[in-house]
Amino acid sequence: MNDPQHESPTPPTASQRILNFVEAVGNKVPHPAIIFLILTGLVVLASHVLYITGASVSYDVVVLPPESAAHSEVEPPSVADTGIAVEYRTLDEAKAQIETRTTPAKSLLTADGIRFIYTSLIPNFMGFNAIGLLIVAMIGAGLAEEAGLVNALIHKLVMVSPRNALTYILVFLGIMSSVAADAGYLVLIPLAGTAFISVGRHPLAGIAAGFAAVGGAFTVNMVIKPLDAVLTEFTNDAIHLVDPTLSIDLGANLWFSIASVLFLTVVISLITELLIEPRLGVYVPAEPVDTRCRISPEEARGLKWALGALLGSLLLFGLLTLPAGAPLRNPQTGALIGNSPFMNGLIAVIMVLFLSTGIAFGTGVGKFKSVNDVINAIVKSVSSLGGTIFLMLIISQFVAYFNYSNIPTLMAVSMSSALVEADIGPFWLLIGFIGVVTLLDLFFTPAIAKWAIFAPVFVPLFVQLGVAPEAVLAAYRIGDGPMNAITPLNAYFALVVGFSQKYDKQAGVGTIVSLMLPYVVGLIVLWTLLFAAWFLLGLPWGI
């Protein structure tokens, strides 16, 4: 980092010089909106070239029966699938089918393609889940920040936490935030930057650590989450292609996921403290920042009021979830954890918790004296999203055009076919599978869509080779994780750039890529080594 805000006391190492070069080159690229407009143009041209050359692939894919889909209680996943739109059915009832499909390349320059471009502008934008999640989360989190609750909580966290443990606590919370789908991107990442600057550390290091935890480790958790239900269902239907008597449960990867959470917490924290912070150097803010962590009497009163609001909100959600037959339980199975309305709608829980505690805190400290003050705080926080919403409008069109062209499917099937034909033995085939998923995740991020294609190809193959299907699913989780923290196709990548610009006006795409590169390399290598050791030792993957 070479601007006045980053003063490094020692000469940069060779690796730091490489990352500085990556940052310098990356920051010379145009605004992200321009980048995605260029990428959209390239997709349009590539789709036509593949179309006129007759490119196509044939493959087996998991599909839900039409009669079951007709009774779905939620909307099916959109092109911006985050893995949270699932149906409330048990795995035994959800007997999906394996269908052989031939998918050709579709041109965006034919009459049909042009009609799609012309008519899909609004549907593409409205179907981009990240926009709704962003706005809903910011209503609550933005109010809490405007009220001063976030800063007070961070100061309290810093006061009660050992200084050396702050990074580990924030990273652990970031990994665990995936239980609330994408909320971690919107809440935990900016919170980590604020927490770091509050103790005199570089805020970009906090943002980078938060991004690595939330994005790079998104596929694992210490509890069952909605994504697990969908991945398990697709895995079972792929298993039944070769063994109708074999199935796995929702907790099939639980032990490996718990170990991964703890392992990745250490890995991400060490990379932050040993590589990222030394490279960034000392942060010199444009305006003085009070790094003394203390709680004023007014804030102490506000925190007490916020605690009361929190307990009241938890009581409300307890009544909606805990009794038998509660409305937020799975209406078919009665389950609360896993595939249930409560888990699928956790973003609403987060919004309500932030709203109630933020209002209570703001009232307690005297900042909110009327309902208008509360509304003005919400409006102020949401109005700051104008640039991000414009960028997501462009990104949503790119994603829709990319998926319409069938280029992601052509890539996935071609890469998986090459790997299957390699004939390198089960262990190395698993390692190669992780590599293929990792590479594809750079261009094609939806976890469910990729697994719907990969599961019927790889799960039967590994089952026939004597490999437990739980191991295949665990390998997929590794491949589908780290690249989320570096690919610009991540719907929240631009948002992270915006978070960084709060502290460094010159921060751009290159800044984030250079910050995240050590995390991505470290996660891919070390997480794969953990998987290899787990596999070779024959440890149980879950319950």
Q: Which residue has the tokens 């409330």?
A: 88
List, in order, residues 6 or more apart from 483 with CB less than 8 Å away: 438, 441, 442, 445, 520
More confident residue, 42 or 5: 42
pLDDT in tens, 416-458: 677 667 677 789 889 989 998 998 888 777 776 678 667 777 7
For residues 63 and 208, give the distance between their C-alpha atoms in angstroms, rounded to a whole number: 37
pLDDT in tens, 194-221: 888 888 889 999 999 999 999 999 889 8
Tell me the two tokens of residue 398: 């790119």
Q: CA torsion 236→239→245→251, rounded to 10°?
A: -40
Q: What predicted TM-score, i.e. pTM, was given to this entire model?
A: 0.65
Q: How many other C-beta atoms are found inside a 10 Å radius of the C-beta of residue 535?
A: 20
**Which of 19-28, 149-158, 267-276 is modeled with the greatest confidence?**
267-276
Question: In the predicted model, is pLDDT for residue 182 greater than 60?
Answer: yes
Identify the CA nearest to 237 among candidates 516, 479, 473, 36: 473
pLDDT at 288: 58
Q: How many residues belong to the chain?
A: 543
Domain boundaries, the chain: 28-48+101-537
Q: Beta strands 6-7 and 282-283: pairing type? A: antiparallel
Are the beta carbons of 450 and 416 closer than 8 angstroms?
A: no
Question: In the predicted model, is pLDDT for residue 360 greater than 90?
Answer: yes
pLDDT at 78: 40
For residues 157 and 496, give the distance between their C-alpha atoms in angstroms, rounded to a whole number: 23
Question: In the predicted model, is pLDDT for residue 531 greater than 90?
Answer: yes
For residues 468 and 470, give the distance between their C-alpha atoms in angstroms, rounded to a whole number: 5
Identify the CA nearest to 332 among candidates 89, 72, 70, 94: 89
For residues 421 and 227, give the distance between their C-alpha atoms in angstroms, rounded to a whole number: 30
pLDDT at 156: 78
Which of 12-26, 30-44, 231-245, 261-275 has the least mean pLDDT?
Answer: 12-26
pLDDT at 441: 83
pLDDT at 416: 66
Distance of CA 316 to the CA centre of its chain: 28
